[in-house]
Amino acid sequence: MAVIISVLIVATFVDFIRQSQEDESKVPGTGMKILLTFSIWTNAEALLSVKEQKPGFIKCLDCIRFLSMLWVVTGHTFTFLVPPDTLRSLSTFMDHFWNHLLLNAFVSVDTFFLLSGIVVAYLFFKQRPKESQIKSPITWIMFYIHRYLRLTPPYMIFIGFFIVYGQYVQGPFSASQFNTLVPGIRTCQANWWRNLLYINNMGGSETACYAPSWYLAVDTQMYIFAPIILIGLYYSLAIGSGLVAVGCLASVVTVYVLYGIYDLPADFFGNGNTNLLYDMIYHKPWIRCPPYLLGLLVGYGLAVYGQQKIRIHWTLAVIGWIVAFGLGATCMFSTYDYDKGAHWSIFARASYYNFSRIAWSVFVSWVIVANHLGWGGTDPLTHSCLIRFGNLLVDFHTVLTSYTFSHCFGISTSMTPVCIIIPHFKLLFIYYAVPACILSYIFAFFWSSLFEVPILKLETMLIEEILKRGTQSNEENINHVARNEETTETGSSERLIRL
């Protein structure tokens, strides 16, 4: 820790001195470039920049990310603030119609899977890759290397911090719950390597290190198979759409089979066996893949057709918005009677779980497409300040549960039942979720400045050097014409992978 802090201080000081000098025309050497990647001065400036994005950028994604993260924080806070002596209050909490905006906050995770698929496909097809790139092994090797190097170092550094310092998160409520964070730390000490390989969601909950990291594992596993859809879409929209349909159908059938075998519930509050819902359904990529697959299809459409200024009659736009919000409302409130005690059959529960996630993905997809193409206005969702909140998503998700745990479990026990006894979740949102969100973003900002941004810069330098040496090697061994073709292809691959 002392070494890291020392490097950061030296890098920041050197960067400040260089920027204060009048002559900055001298290009720094490789060693200086590596040192300057750790400058908090430059990294913080980049994170706080609110410059207008380039034309074609899907601006509304950052706003949707921010609102979804706020929703996730509220749901996590609600989960942490439900001690055993307030279950009766929880049962009355379900009787209030609008509280299902919180009880069904689980669909916010499907929003992130949808956005992830959109970004992967959009950035891939936005570069207009050539067939030679699609067939080139280096394209797909770098496709995976970039992802792994982008996520893993800051992620594993945080796991290390969690193991070392998590045991010091204490408070009255934590003690009343038998210090449940301690067993989680012991699990990480034994199973941290599963997080390194992004397979920490494949075992049971008892072997999972740092519970929220299941999302990164599932997202990475779906990313591994994304090229199958990307290649299909490249050669034919029909082929790609067919692959997406097959993937969604396989997921739907799997859900019906698992519900029939294990009698699973539609959500965490109605009838059914809730004990296996996390391990059999919630954490598995073959169950969570439909939103991601639909995201790949939407991202392809926006990249290929998004610049054509497609216009539709205003009545069609209005109908589209009404249908979309109708689907979203159905996903939110159709479990009202079920959560109050109504008995649903296995088929009804499986059908809701299947098609609520697909319907929610269609709803969010419409919002994104309509805003990007101007079918309803873009201003509310495209403010430049939201760009920074969206870019801090990975670090925010990583630190979120640790901070929320310390925030909720460190408070006085006398304060804990307040938000559960009230008939509406608005005070839970105001007094707990909003402060937790603000402080988590502050923590994520510093974490990103210290670790994520430097590692991303180092990764970019490494990839550029590898591609540069590969190009030079080819230039020495093939003729002039082939040499020019290879240079062009490698440069295009570099631009593609860098995003």
Residue from 189, 221, 187, 218 nearest 205 by CA? 187
Instruction: Indicate the SS3 state at residue 335.
Output: coil
Residue 145 belongs to domain spanning: 37-498
Question: What's the rounded mean pLDDT across residues 21-50?
Answer: 75
User: Exposed e or buried b for every residue in 122-145, given b needs 16+ CB within 10 A?
Assistant: bebbbbebbeebeebebbbebbeb
301, part of any domain = yes
Q: pLDDT at residue 276 above 50?
A: yes
Task: Band the pLDDT of 455: cuts 50, 70, 90.
Answer: confident
324, part of any domain = yes
Q: pLDDT at residue 403 above 50?
A: no
Q: pLDDT at residue 302 above 90?
A: yes
Q: Are 227 and 143 in contact (CB under 8 A)?
A: yes
13, part of any domain = no
* Weakest mean pLDDT among 56-65, 323-332, 348-357: 56-65
20, part of any domain = no
- Domains: count for the chain: 1
pLDDT tens digit sequence for 339-370: 888 899 999 999 999 999 999 999 999 999 98
| Count of alpha carbons within 13 angstroms of residue 429, beta-carbon side | 14
Burial class (CB in 10 A: 0-12, 13-18, 19+), 205: middle
Question: What's the rounded mean pLDDT across residues 84-99?
Answer: 66
418, part of any domain = yes
Q: What is the pLDDT of residue 101?
A: 83
pLDDT tens digit sequence for 65-81: 888 888 888 777 776 66
29, part of any domain = no
9, part of any domain = no
Question: What's the rounded mean pLDDT across residues 175-194?
Answer: 80
Q: What is the DSSP string of 422-436?
A: SSSTHHHIIIIIHHH
25, part of any domain = no
Q: Are 462 and 34 in contact (CB under 8 A)?
A: no
Q: What is the pLDDT of residue 89?
A: 58
pTM: 0.82
